[in-house]
Amino acid sequence: MTTSVVFRTASEMEARVVLALLDSQGIQAVRTGGLAPGVWPMAISAEGEFGIAVREEEAEAALRVIESHRVEQGQAVVRIADEFEDLQERLGYRFRDRALLEHALTHRSLAAEDQSGGVVDNESLEFLGDAVLGLVVADMLYRQFPESREGQKSKVKAAVVSTASLARQAERLCLGEALLLGRGEEKTGGRRKQTLLADTYEALIAAVYLDGGLEAVSAWLRRELQADIDIAANAAVTGLDYKSALQERIQARGVSLPEYRLVDQQGPDHRKMFVVEVWVEGTAVGRAEGRSKKEAEQAAAKQALEATAPSRSR
């Protein structure tokens, strides 16, 4: 079968969009370059581009389909479909280099399933984002609470940068919907996993930093995290302990004390994640993850407090 390359791009996401587009029109795309069969029918050129080919007799039809979905901006032809437009709106930040955003959303499961070697996961970005997050939050706390003791600021910082907190930020942005996952991770509910969401949020922080610099990422994180910092700071001042608060509420109802159960451990020893459930009277009322058992228990207790809060009368 003679094939013709009808599209090239450096973007893995854009290549996937084109493949889906051609398939929807009944045009079968095939990989070029003689690579071994992979997850997606595409190949990487020496220039780092993805190539998509179709049967020679369908080339003209494929090109017409592709051209009909391009977006004109002046004289320039831009990306066929910006899959991240809604996400950028939710972020309140527009990337100059959208490849950085795509990189931040690429989970290692997709890279592992890609046999071309052209897909790079976001773990390095996650590492950088963790450092940037720590710096920005420390700076915010230094400026907002100059008279507070180091221990108090450390408690607030730990609460704001915890896995549970970052996962909530990711959920608020609907980050799970935009993740680029492998098929295996997709099937096991990767879009809803707290650890995965938190890690992706850190990678996103790094992407904003690399795209716009420290000033841009600081401004963005201040908008993102100020409410969490205020809540955590208030908790530190009042001595709020979610486990103690839950215990007091349960005791007031005259039932047995809450029981915390470690139900799962994930990841290597140096990056272990703990999953804890809190049970009351034979019922699980909270479940959360954390980088330590203590963090997971506190997060589960907070969830249980919200679940067992008295209903408000109207």
Q: Give SS3 for 288.
A: strand
In angstroms, rounded to a whole number, what is the distance separating the alpha carbons of residues 277 and 249?
Answer: 17
> Pick the catalytic residue: 12, 83, 121, 130?
130
What is the per-residue pLDDT across 168-193, written as a single tens digit (0 to 9) for each?
899 999 999 999 898 889 889 989 99
CATH 3.30.70.1530 assigned to 3-81: yes
In angstroms, rounded to a whole number, what is the distance separating the alpha carbons of residues 142 and 122?
Answer: 30
pTM for the whole structure? 0.60
Q: List the single range of 59-68, 81-90, 112-121, 225-234 with lowest mean pLDDT.
A: 112-121
Q: What ranges do the domains of the chain cover?
A: 3-81, 123-238, 242-307
CATH 3.40.50.11540 assigned to 242-307: no
Predicted local confidence at residue 118, as pLDDT: 62
Asked whether the beta carbons of 295 and 304 are under 8 A apart, the reply is no
In angstroms, rounded to a whole number, what is the distance separating the alpha carbons of residues 128 and 136?
Answer: 13
Task: Give the CATH class of 123-238.
Answer: mainly alpha
Helices (H) and strands (E) in the chain, counts: 13, 9
Give phi and psi for 31, each to the nearest 5: -75, 155
Across the range 51-75, mean pLDDT stands at 75
Q: Is 202 a catalytic residue?
A: yes
Calculate the average pLDDT of the chain: 81
In angstroms, rounded to a whole number, what is the distance separating the alpha carbons of residues 101 and 88?
Answer: 9
Residues 6 or more apart whose CB falls under 8 angstroms from that of 99 comprise 10, 11
Predicted local confidence at residue 314, as pLDDT: 36
Please state, for a pLDDT cut of 70, what percent of the chain lies above it: 79
> Pick the catalytic residue: 14, 202, 224, 228?
202
Predicted local confidence at residue 45, as pLDDT: 41
Q: Is 241 a catalytic residue?
A: no
DSSP secondary-structure letter at 84? T
